[in-house]
Chain A
Amino acid sequence: MNPFFSFINSSVGKKLLMSLTGLFLSVFLVEHLAGNLLLLRSDGGQAFNDYAKFMGSNPIVRILEVGLLGFILLHIVNGIRLWLGNRAARSKGYGTYRLDENTTLQSRMMKLSAALVLLFLVVHLRKFWVPARFLGEHDIASIVYYTFQQPFYVVFYLVALFIVGYHLRHGFQSAFQTLGFRTKKYQMLIEFIAVLFWFVVPLGFAVIPIYIYFFAGSPVALVQ
């Protein structure tokens, strides 16, 4: 086999793919958060909509967007491959298995949290991304404001962000282990950066629905 494919198809290679795509997606979250925080400006959503417009029209960003979707897909497909392989590696299970005494809950919940994140992603994309990209909607800010007036969506998003954080709590540091950076020397640093990703970033996202629901009063459209 081609050395590259045998590398990528090896167990370590598959994990490497998982960690690289995962890290890329994590970095994207930071960018995403930075853009979203524009929603907190009291300008009737102007800045955010400008930003959305830029993101929707800049050719480099559009290419990156395709890449991003590709990475999401790769992360999912590769994850499923790993899952199936790992399932086959233990064809018969234990009568009693106390994995809970040896591992963290988040590490055991990765598959579940991944499925939930995917579910959330479908709803999220349908809610905001599809209208902007395919239905010609320009005022995404209003949709956001409108959505987060509804208690159901606020709760839904908060729960979803919690799950994203939970997924990252294991995933982020795990990626560094897979890349081989998690040595005794750098362990503390990685744990510290990991906190930014699994706690600070989701928290930043969570501020938006909470802020809109409690403090932004009525939908932006009415303000205008």
Chain B
Amino acid sequence: MAISNPFRRKPIRATEVAVETQTEPAKTHEVKRGFAFYVEYIAKDKPALLGTVIIGAFLVFALIEGALQEAAALLHQSPYNANLGTILLSSNPIALRFSEQLLPPSFKNFPDLLLGSNFQGQSLLSSILYATPHDAVASLLVVGSAIFIGMFVGTSAGYLGGWTDEVMMRLTDAFLALPAIVLAITISVLIGGGFTSLLVALTVIWWPTYARFFRAQALTIRNKGYVEASKLSGSGWLKILVRHIIPNSVDPIIAYATLDMGTVILTYATLAFLGIGVTSGYPEWGYLSSSGLQFFPQQWWYSVIPGVVIAVVVVAFTLAGDRLQDLIGGRITY
């Protein structure tokens, strides 16, 4: 199916146009297609390359760490002793070490105290690394499902037009009118705490933007020749949507989605900062920051360092997404 891999489909004319107008490659330079094109394009910009490397490291580490934690849970290993989930870390971020409370960042015991320790003596470095899977899963899953929902709502609204369009877009407006953080607080508190309900809440507030994007895309694509041809050959609207409109509108969304994954991490951290969706005994970037609040002016690094880590990861997503947006800039309308 064309939808399974958006990079491999045939009409990528716009990317080639972008290369010709922006960098004017020499005649011997072969224009790469699909994924290789994106890699090469990003590698030309140093900050974006740095961002991509950070994102890659973050995602790979989160994947391995998450798998190890799951394995440890499956083997019923106690979280208070060294277990599979902590073998990559310098110390166990869940076990209590009251002899090492609130130590400032230092090279002592390298690398365990590189970022200091918290009020239970747990190393901040280990806690931050231990919490990566949640942030990675949140960003991937929320953006992924938001794209999926927004894709169907947006393209069908844009393609069908008329009353369907009006109703769907007013509903989208109603969702968009709600400030994200407030609605997420409302939903996750009403559903009840926990990671899963937080993911649901984030998805509920995330899809309307994508619905808008996909609608704008569908409005331009629905008048193209191949859509007309497909309609004349007797295809139903659902088939046209899945075969033509969705595959051709997914491309510009990639840049925005990259930027957006950073925003999801930011919102997730903000909610965790308020203590929403936090499981007790499991460190969370935002929650680490807010638990340092009571020691704030004296042990300032305790609440500032997790915040800086969040900022670094989000900046990485912003740099890569910004570079991709430059590429797609002329093609997206919203």
Whether both chains belong to one complex is answered with: no
Q: Which residues of A contact B (CB under 8 A)?
A: none
Q: Which residues of B contact A (CB under 8 A)?
A: none
